[in-house]
Amino acid sequence: MTLSHLLAQCAAQLPTALRKLDPRHVWRSPVMFLVWLGSLLTTAAALVDPSVFTIALTIWLWLTVIFGNLAEAVAEGRGKAQAASLRAARTDTVARRLEDDGTLVPVPGTQLRIGDRVVVEAGEVIPGDGDIVEGIATVDESAITGESAPVIREAGGDRSAVTGGTKVLSDRIVMKVTTAPGETFLDKMIALVEGTSRRRTPNEIALSILLVSLTLVFLTAVATLAPMADYAGAPQDVVVLVALLVCLIPTTIGALLSAIGIAGMDRLVRVNVLAMSGRAVEAAGDVSTLLLDKTGTITYGNRQASRLVAASGVSDAELRDAARLSSLADQTPEGRSIVDLALAAGADDADLPAGAEFIEFTAQTRMSGVDLADGTEIRKGAGSAVSAWLGLTPSVEVTDVIDEIARSGGTPLVIAVRRVGEKGDVLGVVHLKDVVKQGMAERFEELRSMGIRTVMITGDNALTARAIADEAGVDDFLAEATPEDKMAYIRKEQAGGRLVAMTGDGTNDAPALAAADVGVAMNSGTAAAKEAGNMVDLDSDPTKLIDIVQIGKQLLITRGALTTFSIANDVAKYFAIIPAMFVAAYPSLDALNVMGLSTPQSAILSAVIFNALIIVVLIPLALRGVRFRAASATQVLRRNIAVFGLGGVIVPFLGIKLIDLLVSTIPGIG
């Protein structure tokens, strides 16, 4: 965030910050409420006995409260700007409700009720959240997810859910409404980004208790300081005592705490994740076990050709060309990957010869291939099926290759050819494997360095699961997993005091999503899955769970860093205010004026001004978050102490001194 951008946002949100001076709002933050009360006291003192020092001090105390409100207002403003764009997607549509007798009745979308069936055709906007019960269509979800590429939604599967405000691009569907008007995901998302539905999280409440405790300690200290000062012959004005209190209590983190929480949820929204509560975001930061689906998360989900193994007496080029020809008309991901592998090995990029006939795969033959015009027949398929087609048993060498591929968790496809007047023969084997996504091992290593354990969930057998798990670098795997197995695993982890996160999109995932501390449901999944989870990924990208954990950790790290900075700030203020208060009665205290501040009044005013300005300076950091680095809790703590603890001590010394140089030039203060 540039300085000009920050100033523009602050200027735009200044009216909101001023409205937040209402005591009904300020009292929600006990620290800032105490500053607000102190500002009232100094205002009264300035009216009774006006002076340059009292008036200036009063103005900067009120600015401290306003700057605290401004931090929250800027954070909320970013959400409201996004909410405005979301509202543009929420149009008042007329739905065609399908009655029991088959007739279509036009009704406003706001009058739809749960269970109503609605017909939506190409070019029409989906009137509300629901599940497709009939048909298949391509849907434009860019208004919700920001992705321009349309997606396919169809009845009877885990990708049957549709979201209100999206648009059907082709075909015709019948959907069943699952959410009442005003409670759709779009409505929830608007409420979320505006901050109206955000509640304080347990960690935030605990931090608030700490801040209140520190405030009460300093309030007691300042209250007892007044009679002690009178006894020592150095009576203190109420404005000086208020200034001391405001500078000693943790006003910086008190002012920024709400903004940090709002910004954390805003970062989730910006990556198209809808969190049902701040508790879920915070829990993501404390997760110690991640349950990840293998298909689509760790692997691409479609088997891909990884290598060609030629039989004895067969050249690599002959196997390569036969594999390509047998797959040219095969539009499955496996078929296309075989063609890509052959081309990468040097095959000609030519179309099927004229007169060639493609043989599709069937469950009965378990083979596919091509018949060329010259009578040559090429087949690819399971070893036993190809052997039956040839009428011969593959060689021991080919059989060993098939067994080796199967043991590694891959799928062997045998390529064979049969020419007119010749005996058929096996040319070799194609190794199909569920390819692990690039960079997954590195990401899992980062998570491991943070103390997070990764567990792969798959329906594959244990042999295949182990091979994929070893390649991906996960810590554990759950093979042939049933809904009951997932639940049992989650309960076992939680019984050990660990927080668990998982992703899912099907109805069978709903129990585990509900049991997990962070359950991320895919927006393309079933309504049951979305209701069970406490987050919804609008992009339906299972790998985003890793990003969610990082955002949650960044929220906690930011809160801890700024708390450390706020508390460390007090050191410099001691050296500024305490000597200024008592130097007249005890001249020896001037030795504590290590910053060489001009006068007692300029020292006190400079500390108050710094206390106010540092809030504005830290707003960008509160909104952006402290830069996240994969590290253990101990390493994060050390870095926070080194950067924000030490910085919190040094920066005020420099800042207060510079401000004093300016303030001391004001008549009546310097």
Residues annotated as catalytic (active site), given as ranges? 293
Give the other-Cβ count within 10 Å of 545's Cβ: 25
295 beta partners: 299
Output the CA–CA distances (angstroms, integers) from residue 567 to 384, 573, 644, in the order listed. Answer: 73, 11, 10
Using CA atoms, how far apart are residues 45 and 265, in angstroms rounded to an integer? 42
Return all residues near 482 (Cβ < 8 A) that are at least 6 apart. Answer: none
The reply, when asked if residue 362 is annotated as ligand binding, is yes
Question: How many angstroms separate the CA atoms of 596 and 667, rounded?
Answer: 19
Give the whole-angstrom CA distance, residue 443 versus residue 630: 10
363 is in an annotated binding site: yes
- In 3D space, the residue among 619, 621, 611, 615 whose CA is nearest the CA of residue 659 turns out to be 611
Give the separation between CA 280 and CA 83, rounded to whole angstroms. 21
Backbone dihedral region for residue 481 (phi beyond 0: left; psi -120 to 50: alpha; all else: beta): beta
Helices (H) and strands (E) in the chain, counts: 24, 21
User: Is 361 within any annotated ligand binding site?
Assistant: yes
Is there a binding annotation on residue 535? no
Does the annotation place 326 within a ligand binding site?
A: no
Alpha-carbon gap, residue 313 to 614, rounded angstroms: 78
| Max CA distance (Å), the chain | 121
Q: From CA 447, how far away is CA 465, in angstroms rounded?
A: 20
CA 76 to CA 266: how far, in whole Å? 9
404 known member of a binding site? no
330 marked as binding residue? yes
User: 509: number of CA atoms within 13 Å, CB side?
Assistant: 26
The answer to whether the annotation marks 334 as part of a ligand binding site is yes
377 known ligand binder: no
Token pair, residue 368, equals 């596919």
154 by DSSP, 3-state: which? strand
Please give the Cα distance from 535 to 517 (Å, whole number): 10
Q: How does DSSP classify residue 438?
A: T
Separation CA 254–CA 562 (nearest Å)? 10
End-to-end CA distance of the chain: 36
Q: Both tokens of residue 28?
A: 């929600």
- Which stretch of DSSP H or E encloses residue 310? strand 299-310
**Residue 245 C-beta-side C-alpha neighbours within 13 Å:** 31
Q: Are 607 and 247 in contact (CB under 8 A)?
A: yes
Angle at 241 between CA 240 and CA 244, to 5 degrees: 85
DSSP per-residue codes, 255-292: HHHHHHHHHHHHHHHHTTEEES-HHHHHHHHT--EEEE
> Can you tell me the distance from the alpha carbon of 518 to that of 505, in angstroms, rounded to the nearest whole number?
14
8 A C-beta contact, residue 427 and residue 417: yes
Phi and psi torsions of 339, nearest 5°: -60, -45
DSSP string, 41-70: HHHHHHHHS--HHHHHHHHHHHHHHHHHHH
CA 150, 152, 158, 161 torsion: positive or negative? positive
User: Residues 237-258, buried b or exposed e (16+ Cβ, 10 A)?
Assistant: bebbbbbbbbbbbbbbbbbbbb
Binding-site sequence positions for Mg(2+): 505, 509
Binding-site sequence positions: 330, 334, 361-368, 380, 505, 509
Binding-site sequence positions for ATP: 330, 334, 361-368, 380
